[in-house]
Structure 1
Amino acid sequence: MRERHIKKELGVSWIQVRNETHVFASEDNRHPLIDEICRKLAQLIYQIKLIGYKPDIASVWHDVEDEQREEYLSYHSENPAVAFGLISTPHGDTIHVIKNLRVCNDCHTALKLISNVTERER
C-alpha cells in the first residue's frame, strides 16, 4: 500500500441525537463532550470485562505493546459513538450508529456485551 501510495479510509461513525448528527472518527477527541464520553466508555469496558469480555488485540495491526493495542480498540469510532448515545438518550432507547466501514470482530463482540449490560436493544 505504501509503494502504491494507497491510504486506508479512516473509520467514521455517525449517530443522530435530537435531530443533530454527531460524527466520530477513530482516536478523535474534538467532540465537546469527549471527557464525559471517555468516562462512559471506560465504565462500559470495565462492565463488559466483568462478564467475560477479552479484547481481541489481533484486530489491531499497529506495532505496539498489547496494552496499547487494547487502548486502540476502545477508541474505534463506533465505541465513542455508542458511549455518546448512552449518555445522550433516555434509558431503554435504541441507539443507531452508522459506519462507513465494517465493524471489526472485537467491536462487534464488545457492542453486543454493551447492549446486554445497558439493557439496550441490539
Structure 2
Amino acid sequence: MAARIRAHEWAQTPLGPLELWPHVLRTTVDIMLAMPGPATVLWGPQHVQLYNDAYIAIARKRHPSLLGRPVAEGWPDVYEAVISPLLEEARAGRATRLTTFAVPLHGEDGPEERVFDTDWMSVTSSI
C-alpha cells in the first residue's frame, strides 16, 4: 500500500497533492502502514480513507477504490448505522473499543455479516 499511496493521484482528492500534506498526516500514514494488523486513517472533514496492506482483507472487492475517497462514499451500506456514530464518538474525544462487533455488509455474494474487533479514536495534538 505504501507504493500505491505514493502513486495515487492525490491532487484529485480532498487531500490535495501528496507533497503538500501536513507533516502530521505523513507521519500518521507512515505509522499506519507499519502496523501489522488492519488499520485505516480517515483524514479531514470528509474522512478521506487511507489504509494498510492488512486492511485489504476487510476492504475485499472495495479495494483499491476506497483509497483517497471519503469513507461515506466507500462504505455507503454501513456509513450511517455504523461508521458515522463511531466518528461522532471520536470527534467528541472518546476512544471506542468494539469487540465481536457484527456488521451487516453487502458482500461479494450478497448480504453478509462480518464480525470485527476494532478501536476508534481521534488524534489531535495535546502537547
On whether the aligned pair clears a TM of 0.5, the verdict is no
* TM value normalised by structure 2: 0.30
Between 1 and 2, higher relative CO (CA 8 Å, sep ≥ 6) is seen in 1
* TM value normalised by structure 1: 0.30
Q: 1 or 2, which has the higher helix percentage?
A: 1
Q: 1 or 2, which has the higher strand percentage?
A: 2
